[in-house]
Amino acid sequence: MLTLHGCPGWGSAIVEAQLAAYGLPFRFVEVGDLLASADARDALAPLNPLAQIPVLELADGEVLTESAAITLHLADMTASDRFVPPPGVPERARFLRWLVYLVANVYPIFTYGDEPTRYVEDERAAKAFRTRLDARIDVLWSVVESAAGAPWFLGERPSALDVYLAVMTRWRPRRAWFAKHAPRLHAIARRMDDEPAFAAVWARNFPEAVQGG
């Protein structure tokens, strides 16, 4: 049995969606608010010293962190190319490029910007830091928009990149911004909203959102 440590609406939803689509049985452990609760961070630290999610415990006790690593491992474990183009296919290089782009460039904006006072002690400086991060993420998403295909990010082939987009477009600057400034990414995210394999995952992680909105 796999164990996914996460929090509804956070990055663990990216892994949860893949587990559900693969049909892999797993146990979900809600970690609490890692931004607000020192107890939650302390409880997770033995599994991930950074106290970040997602964290996936494998059946043999091995611990995986980092959503990209988990994505690649699940594809290997299931011998499936549903979310990860296999070596040798034309889409493989683009997939790897943009998977790493999302986790190395876009994702850290939330790591540092969700609670900037963890890194910048002065409150005024923290607000200015957050403002600059929010401006930066608009630029980063514009780069992704320029590379997006249709109907999925890689074109005709769906992949884990589309799962990332379905989740991450729910975060700042949120769907309304994407509809206006990144319509291709918005269309991909909405298409993923409507995929039956993910319906229960989206409902659990984003209960306040109108599906597809």
DSSP 55: E
Long-range contacts for 196-205 (Cβ within 8 Å, ≥24 apart)?
197/17, 197/20, 197/21, 198/17, 198/20, 198/21, 198/163, 198/166, 200/20, 201/13, 201/16, 201/17, 201/20, 202/17, 202/166, 204/8, 205/8, 205/9, 205/13, 205/16, 205/167
All structural domains of the chain with their residue ranges: 2-78, 92-195
Under 8 Å between Cβ of 117 and 129: no
Fold of 92-195: Glutathione S-transferase Yfyf (Class Pi); Chain A, domain 2 (1.20.1050)
Mean pLDDT, consecutive 10-residue stretches, the chain (213 aa), reads: 97 98 98 96 98 97 98 98 97 98 96 89 90 95 98 98 98 97 98 97 87 45
| pTM of the predicted model as reported, rounded to 2 decimal places | 0.95
Burial status of residue 186 (CB atoms within 10 A of its CB: 0-12, 13-18, 19 or more): buried
DSSP-assigned letters across all residues of 115-171 = SGGGT--SHHHHHHHHHHHHHHHHHHHHHHHHH--SSBTTBSS--HHHHHHHHHTTS
Q: What is the pLDDT of residue 121?
A: 83
**What would the CATH number be for the domain defined by 2-78?**
3.40.30.10
